[in-house]
Structure 1
Amino acid sequence: MSSPSDRPAWYDAILPVMDLRLGQVVRGVAGRRDEYLPVQSRYVDDSRPGTIAMLLAQTFGFRDCYVADLNAIAGGQVDAATLEAIAVQGLNVWLDAGVGSVARWQACSENLRGWSPFRWIVGLESLVSWQAMRQLVEAIEPERLVFSLDLKQGKPLTNRPELVGLSALEIAKTVAGMGVGTLLVLDVEAVGEGTGARTEDLLDEISREVPEIELVAGGGMASPAGIESLMGHQVRRVLVASALHDGRIAPYHGGGRGAGWE
């Protein structure tokens, strides 16, 4: 399987992930954020965001990056300086900063001091209400908004009365009906575990019921085969983090499978 860039299609599907905490890039562990520790990469000697961004852009050749600002997701202020240090390496940032309402989106935008991410992530975990979702769809250009269907052990991750009790498929169909064009499906229990995304059946349901929506998924990717498997479920982009740093997925430099890998 190849792509227009002369790299395997699965490689171009990778959306590398950076989780930020206290000014460092940390490694996700099944969604237990209090256990996240600074990432250890076989390619660089520190976990500073600028260093990791340079690694992803220059060594791996990626153009996009999913960035989760864990402090902002917990309700704190977005880390503007760190995000700018990532973007200056040439990466298009998909930003998850705990946006769940227009007021929160506006506050994050103001704190970014004029810099703007490539795409904004609106996560189910952070979403205040359906009304807030409608307002966000109106406020953010459709091509720049991604809804993250956050799951835990297959169940929607929310404590909002209006949303509790809805199935993942019902939520996916509702946001698609509001005009959301890109949907991220992620079970936090799979993050960093290397055991696969655990969402394949749901992805199939969504692709059948809402064929017009672009699917993004990830969590627990351990090899190219795992990425290719998700692509077989109509997934366009696949989130990958740990496997990039520990060498399970190596940089590709062109020239064919035998010669192009590190």
Structure 2
Amino acid sequence: LGITELYAADLDAIASSQRCDTDVSGAATVNSAQGDILTQLAGVAPLWLDAGISTLVNARKALIRGSERVVVGLETLDSFDTLSAICDELGGERVAFSLDLQNGVPLSPRLPGPPIDAVGLAERAGAAGVGALIVLDLARVGSSKGLDLDTIARVRRAAPGTMLVAGGGVRGPEDLVRLAEAGCDGALVATALHDGRIQAADLRRLRHTSDSR
């Protein structure tokens, strides 16, 4: 397929972090049977790892596993001070912030204070120093319903200098074109690859088109 990076979500670790399980250091405990698999994936291509990372301790663990970037998700983040600390320690280029949505509504159960909209969250993440933003609507994952291009475009305008990736609902090559037009630098794709709606020839064509611009 010519894919140059991999994204993996360790759902066991994310669920553990959401339950706020803690070890003696106060860090969220990540007990996952997927550790060996994730390490193997990191040996195949640069790996973006989303594993319920909400502390500096677990961000370091993700790098030890071989991750190229650690993904800090909105749904498990307790403060933007934590995100800033992770960026300061690891370097922002090693950190991606996942702007987790549910039908367009930000999922931020652990953040204190009044709700913040997607644009405001993107601005806060950019100020914290992240090197990449992921717009991911969990309600659309696996649905093949298409993407919320309006929200993606607004996030792009709010964070013009940050790498932007989007996922959840990609139906085929045409959606990849639409994402590029909305300002995305990349896309998270799973279902459309598994069922063959996006194939190697599509990716080669899109890459050639992008390189020729």
Q: Report which of the two structures shows the higher radius of gyration computed on alpha carbons.
A: 1
3-state SS, counterpart of residue 86 of structure 2: helix
- Matched-pair contact (CA < 8 Å) for 2:77–2:111: no
- How far apart are 1:136 and its partner, in Å? 1.1
User: Which residue number in structure 2 is paired with residue 85 of structure 1?
Assistant: 40
User: Which residue number in structure 2 is paired with residue 97 of structure 1?
Assistant: 51
Structure 2 Cα separation of the partners of residues 104 and 158 of structure 1: 19
User: Which residue number in structure 2 is paired with residue 63 of structure 1?
Assistant: 4
- Matched-pair contact (CA < 8 Å) for 2:76–2:110: no
Structure 1 Cα separation of the partners of residues 101 and 46 of structure 2: 25
Residue 219, structure 1, aligned to residue 179, structure 2: no
Residue 132, structure 1, aligned to residue 82, structure 2: yes
3-state SS, counterpart of residue 206 of structure 1: helix
User: Which residue number in structure 1 is paired with residue 13 of structure 2?
Assistant: 72
- How far apart are 1:191 and its partner, in Å? 0.5
Task: Give the alignment partner of residue 191 of structure 2, picking from 242, 247, 256.
Answer: 242
Highest RCO, 1 vs 2 (Cα 8 Å, sep ≥ 6): 1
Unaligned runs of 5+ in 1: 1-59, 258-262
- How far apart are 1:222 and its partner, in Å? 1.1
TM-score, normalised on structure 2? 0.82
For 1:16-61, what per-residue CA distance to the aligned partner results, in whole angstroms no more than 9, with x for missing partners?
xxxxxxxxxxxxxxxxxxxxxxxxxxxxxxxxxxxxxxxxxxxx22
Structure 1 Cα separation of the partners of residues 77 and 55 of structure 2: 7
The structure where strand makes up a greater share of residues is 1
Unaligned runs of 5+ in 2: 17-29, 207-213
The amino acid that maps onto 1:160 is: R
Structure 1 Cα separation of the partners of residues 135 and 147 of structure 2: 9
Structure 2 Cα separation of the partners of residues 180 and 139 of structure 1: 12
Identity between Structure 1 and Structure 2 (%)? 35
User: Which residue number in structure 2 is paired with residue 147 of structure 1?
Assistant: 97
For 1:178-201, what per-residue CA distance to the aligned partner results, in whole angstroms no more than 9, with x for missing partners?
222311001111101111122x11
- How far apart are 1:103 and its partner, in Å? 3.0
The amino acid that maps onto 1:147 is: F
TM-score, normalised on structure 1? 0.68
Task: Give the alignment partner of residue 150 of structure 2, picking from 177, 191, 201.
Answer: 201
Q: How many residue pairs end up in the alignment?
A: 192
Task: Give the alignment partner of residue 179 of structure 2, picking from 224, 227, 230.
Answer: 230
